[in-house]
Structures are given as structure tokens and as C-alpha cells.
Chains A and B, each alone.
Chain A
Amino acid sequence: MWGFLLQRTVSAVFALFFVATVTFFLLHAIPGGPFDNDKKLPPEILHNLEAKYHLNDPLWKQYTDYLRGLALWDLGPSLKQEALSVNDIIRQGFPVSATLGALAVSIALVAGVTSGVVAALCHNRWQDYLVSVLTALGFAVPNFIMAGLLVYIFAYQLRWFPPALWGTPAQAVLPALALAAGPAAVIARFMRSSLLEVLQQDYIRTAKAKGLSQAMVVYRHALRNAFIPVLSYLGPMLATVFTGSFVVERIFAIPGLGQYYVTGIVNRDYTLTLGVTVFYSVLLITMNLLADLGYVALDPRIRLVDRTR
């Protein structure tokens, strides 16, 4: 187990190095720089600005300087938010995005697993069809439309919830629902399908034959194995949701991290984009690791490290 974790950590460090490298060079390869605007700056001012952020150093030097900082998790200053470092920005934004994300994931898991199980147990009955229709709605309607509809109905027409900003529980309701709808539908679909599959398997039949009740069988045996595809989906999904959705955070004016994945690139804020990208990558790798460990926890027969050969 410890060997496995060590191996994962080493490979994760290499992966992060590659992510930073690829992103760094792609960012510098696309046209435009952080200080370009429709009105050209006088050359001496542009020079002063570039000097302030060491952007007039040769590219390889900027790259090695960046890597040196990254090694100590110093992600550099933001080129646009004048007084903030990228570390500051992540420190401010991530807790908000993560809170909202955790809320949304909880809603999605509860709603998704419940409706998936109901649909599977009532296979080809009306409950199943109802879940089909709801889940189709859930993932056919993307989050920006879902957010728009929620705002229109619950904030604009009914005035039950505030339309924007962050801080009170009431303000979290609509964005959490907008974020949860899609994942809930996806989880329900996976849950239904794999539960149907598991229920056909021999050990479940055996369990049933032994006289265990339907609920007991589902709870004890079927759910665990049915959860594996959900877990595969959850890994990357958690990383994405915890770092915030640009669309939802923008619509609800939430001070999270999501906006920077777009504005950083649009502004050519190199350090900010790199920083949030590497941060996302750390989260993605961690979540996938947890998902892998989750496979083993759900089904002890699964082996991540091949010990047979």
C-alpha cells in the first residue's frame, strides 16, 4: 500500500511538471500579451510594465524561474490583480468554490443515487420512465441554461431566493442546484444501469436464493459494485466542481476560483492561468487517486498494483 502511494506521488509530480510545461508554452504561443489593448501603449511604458513582471526576460529564463517558484508552491504575482499573488487568489477563491461544490455534490449524490436505485428496482415501470425523463432533462439542459431558468423562476418571478452574491445560506441554494442538476442526472443513469447489471449476477442470485430480502440484497451486495462506474465519473467531476464553474459563478456572482480559468486566459494573465491550472491538476490527480482507492474499498478483489507477475 505504501509502495503504491509512493509510486503515485512520484508519477503525480512528473505529471504536474508536464502540465506546467505544456500550459506555459501554449500560453506564450497564442497571439497577444497581457498588456495588449485597442489603444497601444507607448513603448517605454510597455517596457516598464514588462520589466515589473520580468516578461522581458528570455522565455527559457521565465520558464525556469517559474518552475523554481512552483517547486516551492510560489505561483508568482497575478499580472492583472495588482496586489495579489496567485497563491492569494487561490486562497480566497478555493474555499468558496469548494463549499459550493461540496453542497452541489451532496445534492447530486443523494438525488442521483436514490433515483437511480428506484429506477433500477422498478425496471421498465412508470417510476423508471419518470427517472428517464428527469435525467434526460437534467443533462440535456446545461448549467448556464439551468442557472438562467432557476434565476428566472425563483429569484425574478417568485422572489424566494436572492439572484446573486455569496455569504448567506439562501444565496447558496440556486447555484448549488444549478451545479447539481447535471451530475445528479449522470449519477442516476450510471446507478440505474450498473445496478441492473449487478442484480443479474450470480452472487446476487445466490444471496436472493438464500432468502435475503430485496432491500437487504441491494444494500449489502449490489450497491457497492454498482457504484464503480459512478466512482470513475466522480473523480474528475469532483476536481472540476471543487475548482468552480465559470458559468455558474459568473451568473450568481460567486467569488470562487472558476472565473479565473477563463479570465486568466482572456487577459493573458500567464501566472494566474498557470497557477490555477496546476492547482486543478493537483486536485484532479488526488481525486483520481481517491477514486482508485475507492475501487479497492468497494471490491477488495480489485488490484491496482499487479502482484501476480
Chain B
Amino acid sequence: MFLLRRKTVNFLALSMTLLALAGCAGKPAGQDKPGQPGTKPAKDQVICFNLGSEPESLDPAVVEGKPEGTLLNAVFDGLVRYGKDNKLQPALAYRWDISPDGKRYTFYLRNAQWTNGEPVTAGDFEYAWKRVLDPKTGSSYAYQLFCLKNGEAYNAGKLKDPSQVGVKALDDQTLEVTLEAPTPHFLGLTAFMTYYPVNKKVVEANPKKWYMDTASFVTNGPFKLVKWEHNQKLELVKNPTYWEAQQVKLDKLVMTTVDSNDTALTMFETGQADFVYDPPKTQLARLRQEDKLSISPDVNTYFYLLNVTKKPFNDVRVRKALALAIDRESLVQKVTRGGEKPARAFVPEGLPDVDSAKDFRNAGGPLMDTYNAGEARKLLADAGYPGGMGFPEVAILFNTNDNHQKLAQAIQEMWKQNLGINVKLSNQEWKVLLKSQQSLDYDISRASWSADYLDAMTFMDMFVTNGGNNYTGWGNKEYDALIAKAKVTANSRERIKAMHDAEKILISEMPVIPLYFSTYSYLQSPRLKDVVVSPFAYYAEFRWAWVSED
């Protein structure tokens, strides 16, 4: 009936090329459709983008959602940023040095201004980062700065002296960062909102509410906020003091906060919005037919957890039988309908292999059949439940949401047809479900995982024995050893191989049933050009966007 959308940001960050994610349905992102007019800019460079929810905050230190990330990305500039090609490029830092041991970074800042005319200094960065780590700020993303020297200790309250945290302004234009340990993805991290600078004077003048008033919401990015009507819209205009203002073509960017994706779709279809994401599933077929739908990949796996501490899931044959009795191709074609890919392993596409131009998933190849009912029946019979006879009463648990419910119904029917077992469906409100998972109070439960950073490890270390996010009760010494090895090995060939081996164990033991790799679907008006969509911390980047004549 209703569903609350609030996605937290995927902190994908690595100072390397994002892989070309080939083979997804829909038209490619950010490209104009051939044969259509529209190379001439329109007179009115104004667009409307639906943010999808009211920002909970606009303070870079505390925001965590993707809507907030999208907005902040438009009004702030960090040390570095992702370009049109999704590669890192210099932003406020025009160059940087990295010490040979990989633990010290020196950033050299260009001349840039805040919207109040003051210069952006290295001191603003130092202030902003220490503020994130200050326990009193209560930032839930503070851990993104734990790679800084003494960052974690300061945030945990063990270290009281902030001057020992590894960030220091040597002068107005030079920022020195010292890390706890070499962190290859650190440079990528500095592109994200938690690492944005803030204007010290403005924030200190009104630490709690400085961003609530557009006058004191001083920023340094391509756009600036001029109006915030709560629970309605935010109006952004081109920032004339931005150091790269000549690149910015849009005069005005309106971001509405419409929460219902059905309403957002109606707004798009009646010409009131130029870009909306996540249209309702029931409309996908029609939108595709009308050639309105765009789909781009998301680094995310949708899967079912199995509680292996419980009968019958303590038997690997049962786990595999359940996994193989699901027709994933039909699921993505007929049920989810968003161009998702059937999952034949756990780690999704979009993460680098040894050679960073290659994809971890493609290098590892499929580790299981998409669908094999015969094998599934055989496995179930071997486990002592021929034709489903004697199979105990179990339930699929999911959080309250139409899409999860649809998928569970389809799988329930597939298991009934293919294995002769009747499972029940049960749903719980989101936070109740989390408690049920954590306390292993379930049989089969729906879950999904998105990358925190651009490395397969973000998926693989989840299932170590008693891992913080391992809600299956499963553990495997060999698996643990491989993950431990991959975490300390500097040699990337060995590191990646260990993860491939670990994934093979995971799939052969099947404590989780991978279902599909998710996608990000959106609608973009054909007159809107050069919007960059990425699976990062924001939905869309409007820095280079412009409106063509119809």
C-alpha cells in the first residue's frame, strides 16, 4: 500500500576506473536518443528533479541518505569528484602528493570561494572533518573517516585532543592528511559528502540550524540553494561565485520532495517533472513500451537468508534444493520487471577484479545454475523429503513492501510446483524484521546488500563466522581464513583469488540464496541532456546538464 523509501548512500569509493557495466536492459544512461532533435539549448534552462523525500538535514556531517547526497552534491564541491565518465578528477584540490608508504596525503587547493565571498581554505576542511568525528556531533557516517589517524579513537571518546587527528591545514591552500594505515580507496572517499568542507564561521555562529536558513547555508558548489519550502521543494540556482561556473549551464534546478513514486510518475507524465527515479513496478511494462524507461546498473544483490541453525536448513542439500528450484529468469522477466539480472553467485557486477578493467563477477563466472528443478528435486529427496513429503512448516519472512511480497509469492509457488513443499509467507514491519533476523528468529528471510565501497570485500566479509551482519548462523573456518587472508594481503592477485575461492565456498554451502542483481530505473525527459547517473552516493549529477529545444 505505501512504502517508505529512504535509501542510505552506497559509499562506493575507490580511486580507480569504474567498470563498464555492460549488458543491462534499457537505454544507456546520459545519452541522447538518436534521430531526435535537441542539440540546440533552449532559452529556459530550468528543470525539475524529484528528490523523493524531504532532506532530513543538509549538514554534510550528519546526512546519510541518497536524496540528501544528491542535493549536497549539487551545492558542494569536495577535494575530488567523479567526472562524466565516472572517473575521479580534481575538484577543489588541483593536485595532491601521496607519501611512499601510502599514509600521508598532501592536497593543494585552488582559489575558490564560498557563496558568501570568503575563500575556501584548508582550515575549512580540517574543521569540517574534525567536526564529523567529534562525538558530540553524533554523525552516523563518522566511520567513513575512521581511516584518518586517531579518527576512531577521537570519535569513541578515547582520545580527547582533536589536534591529534590526522588532518591539518599547513596553510590556507595546503591540507595534510595522515592515515591510520594505507587505504587505497581513500582518495575516492574524499569525493563524498561526509568529506565536504564547511565554512567554519557560519557553522560556529549557529551550529544546530545553520543550514535551515538559505542565508547562512553557505556552500561552494555549482549551484546554491535559494529557497526551501519544507516537504515541497528546494530551489537551486547557478552559483556565480563557483570556480568552474562557466561549466554550469542550468539557470535553475528545482528539486521536489514528492515521496510517492506513483505521484512522481504522474508528475513526469504530465510534464511537471523532468527526472524521476524508481517508477512503480506495475507501470514498468507500459513505460518500457512507451520508451520512457531508463535503467542503469546498481551494485546490489537481492537474496534470501536461510537460518542454518534450524531444521531443515541445517542440511546443505535442502538449502541447495531450495536455491535451484527457483526460476530466476522468470522472476526478473515477469515479477521484478526492472531489467535485473538473475544472480548465479553472490557478488554482483560492478566491482573490480585483479586487473581493474575486468569485473570481479565476470572473472569469477557463474557458480550455480539459474534454475534446475530436476536437480533440486533430487537433492530434496536425498535430504529425506521425497516430493516434499514430511517437509516441516516454514515461512518466508520479508519486510512490509509490495515488491518483496510479490517476489515471495512467486517463489512460494515455484517451490510448491517444483518441490512439492508448502511454505508460508509472513511479513513484518522493517525494524521488527531486523530484530527477528538478528536474533535468528526466522526460517527464510529476504535481504539485500549494496556495496559500501568498490571492492568485492564489501560483499564477502559479511558472512564470516559471527560477523556483525551475518544473520544466518552459518560459519565456515575455511571461508573465514580466506577472508582474513584477503584482508591483510597486499598482493592484489592473491587477495582477489582468496575472495573468489571464498565465494565458491559460500555458494556450495548456500547459507544464502542469491536471487538477482538489482538495477536503478528512472525516467528522464528527452529534452534534458548530459545528466550523469551513477551508482554512487547520489541519484543524478546536474553539473553539466542542460535543456535542449524541443
Interface residues of A (CB under 8 A from B): 30-33, 35-42, 44-45, 47-49, 51-53, 80-84, 92-93, 144, 148, 151, 155-156, 159, 162-167, 246-247, 250-255, 259, 262-263, 266, 268
Contacts and interface: CB of A to CB of B under 8 A. Distances in A.
Contact of B155 (A45, A253, A268): A45
Interface string B133-166: 0011111101100100000100111000000000
A266 B434 CA distance: 13
Given A82-B56, A167-B232, A268-B431, A52 B138 contact: yes
Nearest to B435: A31
Q: How many interface residues does chain B have, given as a range? A: 35 or more
Contacts of A38: 434, 447-449, 469
Contacts of B4: 263, 266
Contacts of A255: 229-232
Contacts of B343: none
Contacts of A167: 229, 232
A232 to B, nearest CB: 30
Contacts of B231: 92-93, 253-255, 259
B57 A35 contact: no
Contacts of B156: 44, 47
Given A31-B432, A165-B233, A48 B138 contact: yes
A164 B266 contact: yes
Main secondary structure of the interface of B (DSSP, over half): loop
When A and B form their complex, which 8 residue pairs have the shortest distance between CB atoms, in order from nearest?
Answer: A32-B431, A255-B231, A52-B138, A82-B57, A44-B156, A31-B435, A253-B258, A163-B266
A169 B142 CA distance: 45
Contacts of A32: 429-432, 434-435
12 contacts: A38-B448, A38-B449, A39-B469, A44-B152, A48-B138, A48-B142, A52-B137, A246-B2, A251-B262, A253-B231, A263-B4, A266-B429
B266 A156 contact: yes
A144 B263 CA distance: 12
A155 B59 CA distance: 36
B35 interface: no
A49 to B, nearest CB: 5
Interface string B462-487: 00000011000000000000000000
A49 B431 contact: no
A263 B54 CA distance: 12
B270 A35 contact: no
A80 B136 contact: no
Interface of B: 1-2, 4, 8, 54, 56-57, 59, 62, 135-140, 142-143, 146, 152, 155-157, 208-209, 211-212, 229-233, 256-260, 262-263, 266-267, 269-270, 272, 429-432, 434-436, 447-449, 452, 468-469
A31 B232 contact: no
A253 B62 CA distance: 25
B270 A163 contact: yes
A49 B138 contact: yes
Nearest to B142: A45
Contacts of A39: 8, 452, 469
B432 A163 contact: no
A45 B8 contact: no
Given A31-B431, A255-B230, 14 more contacts: A36-B434, A39-B8, A44-B135, A82-B57, A92-B230, A155-B270, A156-B266, A156-B269, A163-B266, A164-B272, A167-B229, A250-B259, A254-B231, A255-B229
